[in-house]
Amino acid sequence: MTQLDVIQVGTEAMWTAVRLGAPVLIVALVVGLGIALFQAVTQIQEQTLVFVPKILAIIAAIAISGPWMMNTMVAFTRNLFLSIPTITGA
């Protein structure tokens, strides 16, 4: 296993993690921004107002994108396991 192989596997793992986290993070960002805008417009500065909608939106995002996330993780793991003989030279 060369340094190039390690870098390639690490890079692929990081990109997979970014793709898996992106839908949930984007939903949390959009909902948080919308709530902050609502609070600024209405001057309601209730701290607990942020948590419930954001948690519900994140749960919905995970429920909607969950199958895709699982398929992506399974595909990455399958490709990693299948590449073991070529990486190790066995």
**And the tokens for 25?**
């993070």
| CA atoms of 58 and 3, how far apart (whole Å) | 38
Question: What pLDDT, on a 0 to 100 scale, did the predictor assign at position 11?
Answer: 95
Residue 8: helix, strand or coil by DSSP? helix
Segment 12-55, tens digit of pLDDT: 999 999 999 999 999 999 999 999 999 889 888 887 888 899 99
Domain boundaries, the chain: 3-84
Question: What pLDDT, on a 0 to 100 scale, did the predictor assign at position 73?
Answer: 97
Question: What pLDDT, on a 0 to 100 scale, did the predictor assign at position 47?
Answer: 79
pTM of the entire predicted model: 0.80
pLDDT at 90 over 80: no
